Amino acid sequence: MVAEERIARLLHQSRQAELPVGGGEWLLAVIGAVAAQLPACPPQKMPFRERRAALEDQLRASGLAYGTGAQDPAVELNPEAAPGERAFAHFVAGLVRLCASAAASSHARWFVPGPPAQVGVRARRAQLLAVLAAAGGDAEAAARLFSDPTAIPNPLEKLADRTAARLSRRYLAAGGPFAGLPLHNGLCAVEVRCCATIALAAFQHARISPGAVALTAKATLRWRSLLVELLARLALAQEDGSASARGFEQVIRSQRLPVREARTLRRALAHPREIEQVAPELHSDALRRFMLTQVLVAALMDGRFEGAEVAFVERLAHALGVDGAALAQLEAEVWEFYRDHKAALAALRLAETPEGLPHALTTRLEAAVLDNLDRLLQEIRETRELGELLAKAAAGGALSREEKSKVREQLIDLAKTIPALAIFAAPGGLLLLPILFKLLPFNLLPSSFVDPPPPAAALPAPRRKSG
């Protein structure tokens, strides 16, 4: 069975390099490469909340939360493929793999061990395509294919052609790495969440409900319009805001959206409301985090914060109830992701070292350290091991994996008493330690924290001059 799955996957991949990226056959080849191997399946069906949380983790780990996909083994491309084609191919593969994970965590019939390999691959391919098609507006045809994925004949090829045409029109930027950034990435990220929502429901109930898909589509349109509105408002604060606005208009026009949706997005672009008017509509934690992340992407993509951008981001964070430490953590996560995925995101240029972090982020972190310096030094004095490890790193010594783990554990404990320093304990926070070293006393040595200073030598008695 494993050998048959491997052969099927290789066949799908070998065809991809010969097919034009974005066509129906190419889409089926990518979906088939994912479907040819059973996804990791938990021992038991996961509760719905746990499934949703697991997908959120997968979104962040794969980059789909930011509107792009990491390098995916299901993709095989011609070496001469353009950057935009590569980005699109890995985005689509990540989208398909996300839906497969939703199926596996739901213990869907065709995504758990048991069915014969050939039948299972065909059924998985059909159901994964059905989810993508439903997200694209083909809910009725998708529902029929999903309910009977092994039927012959079936509408697989026609549905693949329509779905591929829609995905390509909206997200394939063949003329450049990512035309119209950052709105392009934001719309990709909204598409991901739409597909994830439909996949969770479909594999939970073993069917696609056109009514539920319609509700999801309505919510998705609202997410898109709010995103356009916030990015348009950010553009007004930028020095080259008019150029950004033209890029947004280009993205909306190139997608050839349905009239109602295009009109909604253009209205949001032309007449963006103030942050305080938009914020009440960001009513869920997921929506608030998503919008703040996308605004940060837009502001950080050139590697610097303009003063007006800083003010805009901080106003938005305040309106959403996000404090400075949480905002700094989110900024660091966004920066770290793009630093690690710059090959797939050639259009987004960010610094490669902590010293090159956007100025507003380093300024905020420095303020957090300096405002709490006395308490920080006191805590380090009481924690000998942390002091020793920080001293070793500050002196240029390399920390082992175990030592880095200890530093992070103790910084987490430290953040419990000094919440403003939680950023250093967050994922990726160790990358920011050079900022901490720069601000701590120059003679950071273990003895300076745990040993009393030696008594000063007595001055010799002055000699009396003879007169």
Using one digit for the tens of pLDDT, what is the confidence trace for 229-255? 999 999 888 776 777 777 788 788 777
CA separation for the pair 177, 301 (Å, rounded): 13
The pLDDT assigned to 7 comes to 41
Confidence of residue 63 (pLDDT cuts 50, 70, 90): confident
The pLDDT assigned to 88 comes to 87
Residue in the structure block whose two tokens are 């409900």: 209
Confidence of residue 447 (pLDDT cuts 50, 70, 90): very low
pLDDT over 80 (residue 285): yes
The pLDDT assigned to 230 comes to 94
pLDDT over 80 (residue 372): no
Q: Which range, of 131-145, 159-173, 190-204, averages the lowest pLDDT?
A: 159-173
The pLDDT assigned to 37 comes to 86
6 or 380: which carries more pLDDT confidence?
Answer: 380
pLDDT over 60 (residue 347): no
Contact 98, 178 (CB under 8 A): no
Q: Which of 121, 135, 98, 115 is nearest to 32 (CA)?
A: 121
> For the residues 322-350, what does the mean pLDDT come to?
67
C-alpha distances (whole Å) from 314 to each of 331, 351, 357, 424 are 12, 21, 17, 20
Q: Which range, of 41-50, 59-68, 70-79, 440-449, averages the lowest pLDDT?
A: 440-449
CA separation for the pair 95, 132 (Å, rounded): 8
Confidence of residue 363 (pLDDT cuts 50, 70, 90): low
pLDDT digits (tens, 9 = 90+) for 377-429: 777 777 777 777 877 776 667 777 778 778 877 877 777 777 777 767 665 56
pLDDT over 80 (residue 4): no
> For the residues 324-331, what does the mean pLDDT come to?
83
**Sequence-distant (≥ 6) Cβ neighbours of residue 294 within 8 angstroms:** 67, 182, 185, 186, 189, 227, 230, 231
State the DSSP H helix or E strand holding residue 266, giving kind and residue range, or none if neither.
helix 259-270
**Sequence-distant (≥ 6) Cβ neighbours of residue 75 within 8 angstroms:** 13, 16, 30, 33, 89, 90, 93
The pLDDT assigned to 167 comes to 93
Reading the block at residue 431, the tokens are: 């990358």
344 or 16: which carries more pLDDT confidence?
Answer: 16
Question: Of 112-126, 312-326, 381-395, which has the strongest mean pLDDT?
Answer: 312-326
CA separation for the pair 178, 451 (Å, rounded): 57
CA separation for the pair 365, 371 (Å, rounded): 10
Residue 61, judged by CB atoms within 10 A of its CB (0-12, 13-18, 19+), counts as: exposed
pLDDT over 70 (residue 456): no
Would you tell me how many other CB atoms lie within 10 Å of the CB of residue 24? 20
Confidence of residue 224 (pLDDT cuts 50, 70, 90): very high
What interhelical angle do 183-205 and 117-135 show, nearest 10?
130
Can you say whether the dihedral through the CA atoms of 316, 275, 182, 236 is positive or negative? negative
The pLDDT assigned to 405 comes to 75
The pLDDT assigned to 174 comes to 57
Confidence of residue 355 (pLDDT cuts 50, 70, 90): very low
CA separation for the pair 41, 226 (Å, rounded): 36
E strands, 245-400, where?
Answer: none
Confidence of residue 461 (pLDDT cuts 50, 70, 90): low
The pLDDT assigned to 39 comes to 86
The pLDDT assigned to 445 comes to 46
Q: How many residues are listed for the chain in this entry?
A: 467
426 or 313: which carries more pLDDT confidence?
Answer: 313
Count CA atoms within 13 Å of residue 251 on its CB side. 26
pLDDT over 70 (residue 349): no
412 or 135: which carries more pLDDT confidence?
Answer: 135
Residue in the structure block whose two tokens are 């100025």: 359
Confidence of residue 152 (pLDDT cuts 50, 70, 90): confident
The pLDDT assigned to 305 comes to 63
